[in-house]
A and B are shown apart, each in its own frame.
Chain A
Amino acid sequence: MDTDLLLLLIVLLPAAGAVLNGLLPLMWPQLRRSEAAIGAVGTACVAVPFVLALVLFFQGFAEPYVGSFYTWMGVGDFSVSVAYRVDHLSLIMALVVTGVGALIHLYSIGYMHGDRSFWKFFAYLNLFIFMMLNLVLADNLLLMFLGWEGVGLCSYLLIGFWYEDFKNSQAATKAFVVNRIGDFAFLLAMFILVREVGSLDFAEVFAAAGEMTAGTLNAVVFLLFIGATGKSAQIPLFVWLPDAMAGPTPVSALIHAATMVTSGLYLLARMSSVVLMAPTVMGLIAVTGALTALVAATIAIAQTDIKRVLAYSTVSQLGFMFMASGVGAFFVAIFHVVTHAFFKACLFLGSGSVIHGMHHVEHDLRRAGYKDPFDPQDMRTMGGLGRFMPRTRWTYLAATLAISGIPLTAGFFSKDEILFKAFEFGYDGHLFAWFVWSVGIGTALLTAFYMMRSYMLTFEGSHRWPMAQRVHPHESPWTITAPLVVLAALSLVGGFIGLPKLAEKAGLANWIHGYLVGHGTHHGPVVEAAATAHVSVGIEVVLIVLGSLIAIGGVWWAWRFYALHELTGDERIRLRFGGLYRWWQRSYYWDEFYDKVAVRPVVGGAENAFAPFDNRVVDGLVNAVARTAQQISRMARHLQTGVVQAYALAIVLGVVVVIALMVR
């Protein structure tokens, strides 16, 4: 098929799904009940683009192909088109978005069953996929920004999906506001580029980047990075993501784990040739990533809500990806985006399955007369669920092992590659990379520990919910478990697309490196930092063994610890770490900090300092304008007497005025 047609279909089918699922049930309320049809349409509108993207994938596109569909009004030399770029980078992203997206759509059919706004959910979800595809396929920064804003909007709508609960809409608002800060930086970067380059097309920006002054270049890259920290939840803008878990679990899996939050990494990878010209900012990126990874991992240890553990884990993993970008290994960041999409989506969907089961427990408890509050997301009242939900348990375990980096699972390859690249970059003479590497090693250990902890507390040990002898959860239906199985399988084997350098000795190439960066004379869409020093094979072997040991050690430690102590394990850690633990529990008081230094002074200051000004001057001015307008309006209305003679007189007066203006 024609590439242009394929592209259009890939992008427009989800939009069509959103329109169908959004408008038809709005118009005909009786359609809102037909969940099967809505779910089928919604899933098909993502699954078909996945198949079409596969067709493009197998067609190659070693050279980027740009399909331009429409040129928006040009101003002078500056014009912006709706143009989509097919190259290896955008194809990988499109495949992840549509592939994982389709699975999560399928999952949602079961998960959202019976919800009052089932149709709305699928309409938003399809709209999200449409926006996300615009983001990753765009050939210029403006179209990308439109997608960027669009996914932000969908995220806002979906976090606040159950808006009846005030807490949820607060979380949605928080996500929205924090994201705006990042978007503002992105916007500023675009302004600078328009001024300096006169175009926002990627090809032209890349070509002109070398001619910019170092100061301008640093500013652009820095602003793009700030934009990325907003969307991808890095320090200092990560606070919105844990709260975003208020949305339905499929949303957390799709938007806040697998796709949207990785768009900051995609932005950096897309602009890799420009980012590489600003080494100072790269250092900042790597250090920010490392700190975020460590901070989020420690917080995750002390969380008791199963979804919040996963949320902080996502923040931490995104930190790993930023580390990779900061040491110039953008392709590894994308590699980790892919593997992370597999295992984190699997974990989230698994947690959704658990919550689904615990909701039934809650339901049964209420029927049995249980009155106390019950939180279906609290791991403290779970335990031993593996007996009742075997498919959920094994898939969750597979994904846990993958994220921990147990050898030969997907996470092992991608995380080890990140650590290796950091090490290599330090070896190359960039001292900050040593710091990044050592933080990464420590965080990897923590990751294995807290992920295994969440598995142990949820699926192993004793049943800790009330009346455990009488009520127990059940395994979820196949629409929920089938995506879990697929994703778990991918979590186990998905890493073989990026074999370590060591494998070259055995004649096995690193596929994703060749695909994204290119080899020999061929250049792919992603550029990497040129390494001058080469790490010897011996050191490489040591590093891999170290990485494996850390993962296995962390998992084994958590398994032993929580198998022995169960819930009291947390208590032991708390006693061991004391005040530090409380900091973890309260996420280092970030929210309180922001509240104190940013929100309160601004709001309070505005109330105290600006209130009189606002009340008297601004309000007064606004009211005066409104009053004057209405008064003039009323006065003028008196002219409209309804008497024809008066109208005729007005015409005569008008004639006199017009003649006076024209005759000279």
Chain B
Amino acid sequence: MDISGAYDSILYDIAGGFSLLVLLLAGIVCIVWDIFENDEPVLPFVAAMACVVGIVWEVRNLDAGSSTVFYDSIRAYGLASYINITILLSALATVILSVPYLKRIKHGYGEVYALIVFATAGAVMMGTANSLVTVFVGLETMSISLYILAGLVRRDEGGIESALKYFLLGAFSTGFFLYGIALLYGATGTMYLPEMASGFIERGELTLLFWAGIALFFVGFLFKVSAVPFHMWTPDVYQGAPTPLTGYMSTASKAAAFAALVLVLYYGLAPMPVAAWQTALAVVALVTMVLGNLLALVQNNAKRMLAYSSIAHAGYVLVALTAGTSQGYAGAVYYLLIYSLMNIGAFGVMALLEWDDKEGRLQTIDSLAGIGFRKPLLGVAMGVFMFSLIGFPPFGGFFGKVAVFAPAIEAGYTWLAIAGVLASALSGYYYLRVLYVFWMRTEEQADPAVRARAFPVSFSSAAVVVTCALVLLVIGFIPYVRDLTQIYFDASVFATMP
């Protein structure tokens, strides 16, 4: 590698990777500060500021032309900024929601915020990767931070179970992932996504090595986004982890993994005939949607229900990827933004309504009967999130669903889209049940422990939840956020193999 030009491009590199660098710096500041001032209350503020600075920077660069920095290892500006905003928003919301929550369960450690920031840095790296190495480094940075966060409540068996399962299965799937990267390197001779693409066109034929590599590589992603049958860790891990951090796992880490998959498909494998992996993705998407929704039906625990719901939503995004068109990729990225807002909000509300002191592990949905009347703000916001998750117009979720299903229909996968619509019709049952319990039952039917509890809502938490709900009300009507295809995905990249 020629590094002689390093100093010439350093300013450009710093600008391009600015939010990543800010995050890393903030993470180091947090961890070092925590050494000297244990559990310093300013640390969450540092973490939040890093996210805010990152968001502002990325918003300013949304219109800049897409390019690569740091020796082509990460992408910057344009689409990368859009993805980063999604990830950073989830991180910011998580930090804000975590402060009162962790204080309440008496686990407000300073290193939590350092870990959130590091996980976010990993997610950003992964979500904007331009080479397979970056994907892997980002994935591991994120995952290892999350393993620790999942087991934050060490004394609780749920926390231990959550962290251990996540770690063991994560490490297991990472093995496949890494092996896939190795095989891909062997088959194409490069780690850089665009070079893989040009390699196909030059060579004109694909070896078995390549196919095996790509399959294993996909498996790594499918594990991260909890697609069936790689989903089994999800409910157990989500249930045992502290609730705001569960929200983070289901949004930022998923968004990053999906974004990386989009980048690989779009920049790395674009010249290949898409039909090659369409079947595999379609099958996985189908079983993920169907099983995710079916299993969510019988869950009594809110966090498990949301876990299965997040599995189902991964299936919807996979439908868009199955289409294999720029519209499909754009739809997936758009869906990730909306999905993140819905899930952060829903987990946020559940975190605020937690009463069992076991991270919501023992808490049934029914125990919160009539809570909407006591906490109308949370009740109304939950209504927005649930309707949006169903995909009910005019909430954001509806526009997201249109964006992921329409490309599949255009690409000839009508049956898959129909299956998706049917599956999401099924989801109406368990989402509406939450609202039924919240609003149509009386408080007398609630658990005595719930009636005795006050459920204080701090201003910052309420602000996060309300903001998510309000954004979901209007986001579908903002064309600029929606029309990703025209802005970032240039159909001309698609030149098929000779």
Contact = CB atoms under 8 A, between A and B. Distances in A.
Interface centre among B169, B279, B294 (most CB of A within 10 A): B294
A662 B211 contact: yes
Given A629-B297, A651-B230, A661 B176 contact: no
A367 B214 CA distance: 87
Nearest to B229: A654
A271 B297 CA distance: 50
B229 A650 contact: yes
A645 to B, nearest CB: 9
Interface in A496-546: none
A663 B183 CA distance: 13
B235 interface: yes
Contacts of A629: 294, 297, 426
A644 interface: yes
A663 B284 contact: no
B216 A647 contact: no
Interface stretch (B126-134, B217-225, B443-451): B217-225
A658 B227 CA distance: 12
B295 A637 contact: yes
Interface centre among A27, A630, A651 (most CB of B within 10 A): A651
Give the size category of A's interface with B.
20 to 34
Given A629-B297, A655-B176, A662 B276 contact: yes
B211 A640 contact: no
A597 interface: no
A648 interface: yes
B358 interface: no
A166 interface: no
A634 B294 CA distance: 9
Contacts of B298: 630, 633-634, 637
Interface in A625-645: 629-630, 632-634, 636-637, 639-640, 642, 644
A309 to B, nearest CB: 41
Interface centre among A72, A636, A642, A647 (most CB of B within 10 A): A647
B182 to A, nearest CB: 15
A650 B216 contact: no
Contacts of A650: 229-230, 232
B171 to A, nearest CB: 10
Interface of B is mostly: helix
Contacts of B223: 651
Contact of A653 (B229, B233, B479): B229
Interface string B169-183: 100110010000000
B208 interface: yes
Contacts of A655: 176, 215-216, 219
A659 B173 contact: no
Contacts of B441: none
Nearest to B211: A663
Contact of A658 (B164, B219, B291, B426): B219
A662 B232 CA distance: 23
A30 interface: no
A636 B288 CA distance: 13
Nearest to B304: A640
Given A633-B298, A644-B168, A654-B222, A27 B216 contact: no
B168 A648 contact: yes
Contacts of B235: 640
A70 B477 contact: yes
B7 to A, nearest CB: 44
Contact of A630 (B165, B218, B230, B297): B297
Interface centre among A632, A640, A661, A664 (most CB of B within 10 A): A661
A147 to B, nearest CB: 15
Contacts of A73: 402
Interface centre among B229, B276, B279, B297 (most CB of A within 10 A): B229
A71 interface: yes
Nearest to B276: A662
A74 to B, nearest CB: 10
Nearest to B477: A70
B102 interface: no
A647 B297 contact: no
Interface in B271-300: 276-277, 279-280, 283-284, 291, 294-295, 297-298
B212 interface: yes
B376 interface: yes
A630 B295 CA distance: 8
Given A629-B297, A644-B169, A663 B215 contact: yes
A26 B165 contact: no
B236 interface: yes
A43 to B, nearest CB: 26
B28 interface: no
Contact of B172 (A72, A651, A653): A651
A630 B299 CA distance: 11
Contacts of B228: 654
B377 A658 contact: no
A647 B169 contact: yes
A613 B153 CA distance: 56
Interface string A541-559: 0000000000000000000
Interface string A455-477: 00000000000000000000000
Interface string A598-619: 0000000000000000000000
Contacts of B168: 644, 648
A655 to B, nearest CB: 5
Given A644-B168, A651-B173, A636 B216 contact: no
Given A630-B297, A633-B297, A644-B169, 8 more contacts: A70-B479, A634-B298, A651-B219, A651-B223, A653-B229, A654-B228, A654-B229, A658-B215
15 contacts: A630-B297, A630-B298, A633-B294, A633-B297, A644-B168, A648-B168, A651-B173, A651-B176, A651-B232, A654-B230, A655-B219, A661-B283, A662-B211, A663-B211, A664-B211
Interface of A: 26-27, 70-73, 629-630, 632-634, 636-637, 639-640, 642, 644, 646-648, 650-651, 653-655, 657-659, 661-664
Interface of B: 164-165, 168-169, 172-173, 176, 208, 211-212, 214-216, 218-219, 222-223, 228-230, 232-233, 235-236, 276-277, 279-280, 283-284, 291, 294-295, 297-298, 376-377, 380, 402, 426, 477, 479
